[in-house]
Copies of this chain bind each other. A is one copy, B any other.
Amino acid sequence: MPLVVVGSVALDCVETPGQTRENLLGGSAVYFSYAASYFTPVRLVGVVGDDWPGEHTELLRSRNIDTAGLEVRHGAKTFYWRGKYLDDMNVRETVDVQLNVMEDFDPVLPEPFRRSPFLFLANGSTKIQLKVLKQCPGATLSVADTMDLWIRTEREELTELLSKVNGLVLNDSEAKLLTGEANVVRAGHRVLEMGPQFVVVKKGEHGAMFFSKHETYVLPAFPTAQVVDPTGAGDSFAGGMMGYLAEQGNFQPKTLKEAMAYGILVASFTVEDFSLDRLRKIERADLERRMEEYRRMLSF
């Protein structure tokens, strides 16, 4: 089933202990879309400037990602993010952010997009997430991501959003910040009380936790020795998860757990190279092979 994602589309610069790469294709909606495209048709909503290379749009289209919702604004520049990873690759500093076209991003979804049964509100202003949600009143499943900035500055809107979406995805530190709970299990349960039917807490290299009224579980990350660039891992995780749910057309507990696993596996490929470079080299069959390894790893 079609899956629509609204989020950032960016040109990134990434510094790692090994090397620095400029002008990379990035952004939450881009990583999400590509990750989801292994499973289902994706509809991307975002905005870029006229510095945006047309080949990036072509790449997305080649993956069955509908870019009708990607606005190209002339006389403006694409969102720019520059980040630096410290030695252990788990600590990241944002060196520079230039919002550019994202500053007044206020998307109007194309009419067919509004009837998408699956909706993902990638990390962005909660106010905008609410406005997008209102454009898709018939969505079967709506899930939002958020971050510390919005938890601090748009708490009221976030409370409203949490009463309206089916699911929330956020980092462990963000779950603690949102709830004031130091224990991540308690934090997950507290977020549930705010409204969503399920909460997914991302733990970076340690995997992800799932919370619903009836279930609490954790799945570890797939161990990879080749961590080149962790940028986009969280968005790829969400894309793999939502893509699989959209493919299956439901979010029953069994499907959700499989979806968590697919999210973890897509993310494990993403970090093995810069930008989408690793994902561009894999097929669904590679995901299935890693899934077999992953299932074997967790069986005893």
Contact = CB atoms under 8 A, between A and B. Distances in A.
Interface stretch (A27-35, A106-114, A150-158, A182-190): A182-190
A223 B225 CA distance: 25
B218 A223 contact: yes
B209 A206 contact: no
Given A223-B209, A300-B254, A89 B183 contact: yes
A50 interface: no
- Number of copies of this protein chain within its complex: 2
A178 B216 CA distance: 35
A137 interface: no
Given A88-B176, A89-B182, A219 B220 contact: yes
A110 B45 CA distance: 73
Interface string A170-204: 00000010000011111001000000000000010
A88 B182 contact: yes
Contacts of A285: none
A151 B249 CA distance: 53
A298 B219 contact: yes
B219 A183 contact: no
A137 B184 CA distance: 45
Nearest to A86: B182
A299 B299 CA distance: 7
Contact of A223 (B17, B216, B300): B216
14 contacts: A17-B182, A89-B183, A185-B225, A186-B225, A189-B225, A203-B206, A206-B207, A216-B223, A217-B223, A218-B223, A219-B220, A254-B300, A295-B300, A298-B299
Interface of A: 17, 87-89, 176, 182-186, 189, 203, 205-207, 209, 216-221, 223-225, 227, 254, 257-258, 260-261, 295, 297-300
Task: Give the 6 A-B residue pairs with the shortest CB-CB distance, closest first.
Answer: A206-B206, A185-B225, A257-B300, A298-B298, A217-B297, A218-B220
